[in-house]
Structures are given as structure tokens and as C-alpha cells.
């Protein structure tokens, strides 16, 4: 059972997210729990399913992985540096998208959404690279986790 069954975002001390950011967070968590692939390729680490805690501590992204019984399974810290530009680009295009859906015709909204998906895919690819040797995730899981990283970046 190489999957996540619970996700918790540690947003203590972060600013309150906008309604759009909160909605993105809820959708990403719901989608992740519906369908994901998450395995830890290390000897001695208990098999899943896993509970995942995500946080930003000391300017690092922290993955706190526990077993279903809430026993520690693994913890790893990733530098936020490789994510900074793609997160910035993602927020800019999301802002354009949220504005566009209010006033622009569907053809223009679709073009912005295609750009948004492209940036989202880039963030997912970076996440998969950063997790190499620590956790194995498929592209859909990486995309949804990237959304949650953006939510944390918004507050951090």
C-alpha cells in the first residue's frame, strides 16, 4: 500500500490564505487522498500506507511521514530555493486566471489555463527530482503535492 491516507498542513504562524488559495488546498488534499502513489525507497522504512505532514521550518520544506498507526517512518527536508521561481510564476498565472474567469471569454481563459498547467507540470517535475531517493511519487501525486507547497509558500 504505497499511498498517502492522511495529509496535514502545518500552517501555524502563517498568514490566513485567500479564499482561492484555501480552495486550491482543499481540492489538492481531496484529490490526493482519492488517488496517489507515494513510496519510500529506503531499507528499514515501514511500508505504507502513510500519513504526511507538510511544513516549512527554518526556510526548508519538511515532509514528516508516519505510518498508518502514526509511528515515525521518515522525515526529509528540502531546500525551497529550487521551487521559488516556479512558485512565483504559478501564483502570477493563477492570479491572471482568477481574474480572467470573471471577465474574459472562454477562449482566453483556456489559453491562460494551458499556461497554468504547464507551470504546474514544471513544479511537479522539480518536486520529483528533489524527492529522488527519498520518496517515489507519480506525476499526478507530484502535481497535487506541488499545489500544497504553493499553499505553504503563500504563507511563508
Q: Mind listing the pLDDT tens digit for each residue in 27-59?
A: 999 999 999 999 999 888 888 899 999 998 888
- 72 in helix, strand or coil? strand
Confidence check: pLDDT of 148 > 80: yes
pLDDT of residue 156: 46
Task: Return the higher-pLDDT residue of 140 and 19.
Answer: 140
- Provide the pLDDT for residue 36: 96
pLDDT of residue 155: 52
- For 111, residues 6+ apart whose C-beta sits below 8 A from its C-beta are none
pLDDT digits (tens, 9 = 90+) for 107-118: 888 988 899 899
Distance, CA of 12 to CA of 119 (rounded, Å): 27
Residue 39 CA to residue 73 CA, distance in Å, equals: 11
Which pLDDT score is estimated for 82? 93
Percent of the chain at pLDDT > 70 equals 97
Contact 36, 49 (CB under 8 A): no
For position 44, what pLDDT does the model report? 85
- What angle is formed at CA 61 by the lines to CA 56 and CA 64, rounded to 5 degrees? 90
**Integer Cα distance of 36 and 2 in angstroms:** 8
- What's the pLDDT band for 9 if we cut at 50, 70, 90? very high
Closest CA to 148 of 66, 87, 82, 98: 87
Q: Report pLDDT for 154.
A: 62
Residue 30 sits at the vertex; the CA angle it makes with 5 and 86, to the nearest 5 degrees, is 100
Amino acid at each position: 500500500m504505497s499511498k498517502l491516507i492522511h495529509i496535514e498542513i502545518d500552517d501555524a504562524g502563517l498568514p490566513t490564505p485567500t479564499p482561492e488559495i484555501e480552495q486550491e488546498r482543499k481540492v489538492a488534499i481531496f484529490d490526493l487522498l482519492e488517488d496517489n502513489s507515494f513510496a519510500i525507497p529506503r531499507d528499514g522504512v515501514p511500508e505504507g500506507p502513510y500519513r504526511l505532514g507538510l511544513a516549512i521550518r527554518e526556510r526548508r520544506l519538511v515532509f514528516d511521514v508516519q505510518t498508518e498507526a502514526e509511528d515515525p517512518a521518515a522525515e526529509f527536508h528540502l531546500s525551497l530555493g529550487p521551487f521559488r521561481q516556479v512558485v512565483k510564476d504559478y501564483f502570477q498565472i493563477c492570479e491572471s486566471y482568477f481574474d480572467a474567469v470573471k471577465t474574459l471569454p472562454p477562449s482566453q481563459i483556456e489559453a491562460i489555463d494551458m499556461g497554468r498547467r504547464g507551470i504546474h507540470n514544471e513544479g511537479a517535475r522539480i518536486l520529483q527530482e528533489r524527492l529522488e531517493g527519498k520518496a517515489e511519487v507519480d506525476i499526478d501525486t507530484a502535481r497535487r503535492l506541488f499545489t500544497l507547497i504553493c499553499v505553504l509558500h503563500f504563507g511563508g
